[in-house]
Amino acid sequence: MKVKLARNAGFCMGVRRAMEITLSEAHRGDESLFTYGPLIHNRQVLDLLRSKGVDVKEDIDEHDKGRIIIRAHGITPNEREAIRSSNLKIIDATCPRVAKVQAIIKKYNNKGYFPVIFGDAIHPEVIGLMGYSKGQGVVINSIEDVEGLPEKKRLVVVSQTTQDIDAYRKTTDAVKARYPDSIIFDTICHETYKRQMEVSSLASEVESMVIVGGYNSGNTRRLYQISRSTGRPTFHVETEKELKGLWFSSTETVGVTAGASTPNWMIKSVTERLKSMGKSRQHALGSLVRRVFLFLLKSNIPLATGAFSLTYAGLRLSKGNADLIYPLLTLLYVYSMHVLNRFLDKEASTYNDPGIAFFYTQHKTFLITTSLLGIGTGLILSLSLGIAQSLLFLALTILGLVYSIPIIPWRFGYLGRYAKIKDLPGSKTMAEALAWGTISSLLPVIGWSNPFWPGVFISFLFVSSMCYIRSGLFDILNVQGDLIVGRETLPIALGEEKALNLLLLLNGFFGILILISTSIGVVSSLGYPLISCFLISFLYLTAYQKGLMRDGSPLQPIAEGNLLLAGLLAFIWKLL
């Protein structure tokens, strides 16, 4: 069955921020860590946080000690004061958009306006907002409630940030008609509005809809209601285990979206399960081709082939010997290291991409066998080049394996946090880039009689930068899973926005460096067509930054296809 995933499914900005703050704190320090009330409306995520030592605290005692996180919904001023009176350290994860609504209520309440909040009276966000009205406000949730508002009052009207935009507009129209001087603010989160518009649009393109999220999540229930109102069969599930084949027995295309408190790994688990259900128009041959393609994609063979192409391009760029044995060594190394490190670090894969994690479990014997054969074949080939090449290949292989293996015992206190090389902040992206650059540009040089070192250095930077940019982007895509397991990748160390800006900056810098190096003759004229690889990197990084591509599914083939393009350009350049 074909699955169409909504572009804006999953964590909203406020929830993502609260989760990142909580998970970062969970991996920092030994003090007790609490959230003031459930962090988000998702049972599975709360169970996960509990396993990380994050407890939920509903009541505050003056003798309480440790750290307490204010959830994205926000709290009342009285609750905040009670926490400050205890021995708890406040970590504020209130959504900035909720904080803005709180500020509006506080400002206009002080000016004598009567606060009216459109929302669910028992929702934590609304309870927090009411606290800023100092007992003077009222909560409404329909046009009918407008009739019950007090007369001769100056009203200021706001909405709970996750409410239905159409219902709010109809209600505010009624308020404006009865109270012409009322001040009305559009405080519904823009992300909420986009999700609600998107679910209606998506429902018109598919035969049925699946909404993923907690049953007690208000915004998820609203997505479900909007989808049902379109007339499309709609199913609300929390996990993939609740999906039933009977629902989709005659369905060829299904749409999927998720509430603002639903993490990526749960959405991916649902979409992977749906792909194996329902009907398919695909011919048997087409289905076979698709399965083979997906097998190759998940097994890292396209990535290894991209490394082959990148090495070939780098050797041609440096005016060196482009014997195919060197790109082949890179292919064997990259394939083997990526496969083995997935098994050594399978916990992160479970959250970053459940489909890939299941694939590796399903084909464990084949993948481990072929990766070990790859290492053995690489050692034999490198030995045929010389003892120095063989030793370097062996050293890179050992370093690649040690990367995910503990080398510092946990009992060594603070250093125990960095038991593995991969635990060092930002090390994953840099280590991968340096390894690719070394095996593709430096290993071949050992066999050359008189290498042109400036050209070799530029070739090393070309290969390493292309690898770094690709790897850095996927670190951003996988930030949720990496946070859960405590891995401090580049976007976790810098923040996602800064990490993306850094990748764009490096992409531009190395693109200009290759252009200058080519124009002054340090490298071959191949440098000119290779600039297109940096242009493509710029395009997909920018597309991600602007929200045009948020899912890894289209980004992976584009990013890895860019590596293949480098080899193709080098081959055409050689022919011409």
* Whether residue 460 is found in the same domain as residue 519: yes
* Whether residue 233 is found in the same domain as residue 335: no
Percent above pLDDT 90 for the chain: 42
DSSP class per residue in 143-198: GGGGGGSPSS--EEEEE-TTS-HHHHHHHHHHHHHH-TT-EE---S-HHHHHHHHH
Number of domains in the chain: 4
Q: Tell me how far apart the alpha carbons of residues 364 and 143 are, in angstroms, rounded to a whole number.
A: 59
Non-local (6+) Cβ contacts of 551 within 8 A are: 5, 7
Q: Determine the pLDDT at residue 21.
A: 87
For this structure, is 125 an active site residue?
yes
Mean confidence (pLDDT) of the chain? 86
Band of pLDDT at residue 347, cut at 50, 70 and 90: low
Question: pLDDT tens digit string along 416-434?
Answer: 445 555 566 667 788 889 9
* Whether residue 301 is found in the same domain as residue 404: yes
* Whether residue 319 is found in the same domain as residue 452: yes
Average pLDDT over residues 54-76: 86
Residue 3 counted as domain residue: no
Residue 290 counted as domain residue: no
How many other CB atoms sit within 10 Å of the CB of residue 278?
20
- Encoding tokens for residue 76? 């009342």
Of 146, 164, 189, the one marking the end of a domain is 189
Comparing 70-74, 425-429, 447-451, the range with the smallest average pLDDT is: 425-429
Catalytic residue among 125, 198, 238, 560, which?
125
Q: Tell me how far apart the alpha carbons of residues 2 and 274 are, in angstroms, rounded to a whole number.
A: 8
Average pLDDT over residues 550-558: 71
Q: Which residue has the higher pLDDT, 63 or 475?
A: 475
Question: pLDDT tens digit string along 166-214?
Answer: 889 999 999 999 999 899 999 988 888 888 888 989 999 999 999 999 8
Q: Determine the pLDDT at residue 140.
A: 92
CATH of the domain at 138: 3.40.1010.20
* Whether residue 107 is found in the same domain as residue 123: yes
- Element containing residue 357 per DSSP (H, E): helix 354-362
Comparing 248-257, 374-383, 386-395, 488-497, the range with the smallest average pLDDT is: 488-497
Q: Determine the pLDDT at residue 276.
A: 81
Q: Which residue has the higher pLDDT, 429 or 548?
A: 429
Closest CA to 366 of 298, 288, 269, 309: 298
Question: pLDDT tens digit string along 3-33?
Answer: 888 888 888 888 888 888 888 888 776 788 8
Residue 1 counted as domain residue: no
Q: Determine the pLDDT at residue 547.
A: 74
**Statement: residue 564 has pLDDT above 90:** yes
Comparing 55-64, 289-298, 357-366, 561-570, the range with the smallest average pLDDT is: 289-298
Q: Determine the pLDDT at residue 47.
A: 86
What b/e readout covers 67-104, taking b as 16+ CB neighbours within 10 angstroms?
Answer: bbbbbbbbbbeebbebbeebebbebebbbebbeebbeb
* Whether residue 312 is found in the same domain as residue 355: yes
Q: Determine the pLDDT at residue 296.
A: 72
Q: How far from 403 is each of 23, 431, 432, CA to CA, in Å?
A: 23, 9, 10
Closest CA to 397 of 300, 332, 446: 332
Q: Determine the pLDDT at residue 412.
A: 45
State phi, psi for 163 to the nearest 5 degrees: -80, 165
* Whether residue 246 is found in the same domain as residue 370: no
Of 262, 284, 306, the one marking the end of a domain is 284
Please answer whether residues 558 and 535 qualify as being in contact, where contact means their C-beta atoms are separated by less than 8 angstroms. no
Which residues constitute the domain of residue 499? 295-575
* Whether residue 34 is found in the same domain as residue 155: no
Of 96, 121, 145, the one marking the end of a domain is 96
Q: List the end-to-end C-alpha distance of the chain, in Å, as a whole number.
A: 45
**Statement: residue 415 has pLDDT above 50:** no
Q: Tell me how far apart the alpha carbons of residues 184 and 82 are, in angstroms, rounded to a whole number.
A: 32
**Statement: residue 530 has pLDDT above 90:** yes
Classify residue 439 by its DSSP letter: I
* Whether residue 196 is found in the same domain as residue 253: yes
* Whether residue 224 is found in the same domain as residue 107: no
SS3 call for 36: strand
**Statement: residue 165 has pLDDT above 70:** yes
Q: How far from 285 is each of 144, 277, 281, 290, CA to CA, in Å?
A: 59, 19, 12, 9
**Statement: residue 413 has pLDDT above 60:** no
Band of pLDDT at residue 341, cut at 50, 70 and 90: confident
Q: Determine the pLDDT at residue 62.
A: 73
Residue 6 counted as domain residue: no
* Whether residue 312 is found in the same domain as residue 264: no
Chain centroid to CA 465 = 21
Comparing 317-326, 461-470, 527-536, the range with the smallest average pLDDT is: 317-326
Residue 132 counted as domain residue: yes
CA atoms within 13 A of residue 90's CA, in its CB half-sphere: 16
Q: Tell me how far apart the alpha carbons of residues 576 and 566 are, in angstroms, rounded to a whole number.
A: 15
* Whether residue 374 is found in the same domain as residue 508: yes
Closest CA to 239 of 263, 215, 278, 266: 266
Residue 7 counted as domain residue: no
Comparing 272-276, 363-367, 499-503, 539-543, the range with the smallest average pLDDT is: 272-276
**Statement: residue 357 has pLDDT above 70:** yes
Q: Which residue has the higher pLDDT, 162 or 480?
A: 162
Question: pLDDT tens digit string along 73-106?
Answer: 999 999 899 888 888 899 999 999 999 999 999 9
Q: Determine the pLDDT at residue 502.
A: 94
Range of 49-53, 165-169, 301-305, 378-382 with top mean pLDDT: 378-382
Non-local (6+) Cβ contacts of 173 within 8 A are: none
Average pLDDT over residues 383-411: 79
Residue 76 counted as domain residue: yes
Residue 435 counted as domain residue: yes
Residues in the chain: 576
Q: Determine the pLDDT at residue 411.
A: 44
Q: Determine the pLDDT at residue 491.
A: 83
Percent above pLDDT 70 for the chain: 91
Comparing 300-309, 430-439, 472-481, 504-513, the range with the smallest average pLDDT is: 472-481
Question: pLDDT tens digit string along 292-323?
Answer: 777 777 788 889 999 999 999 999 999 877 88
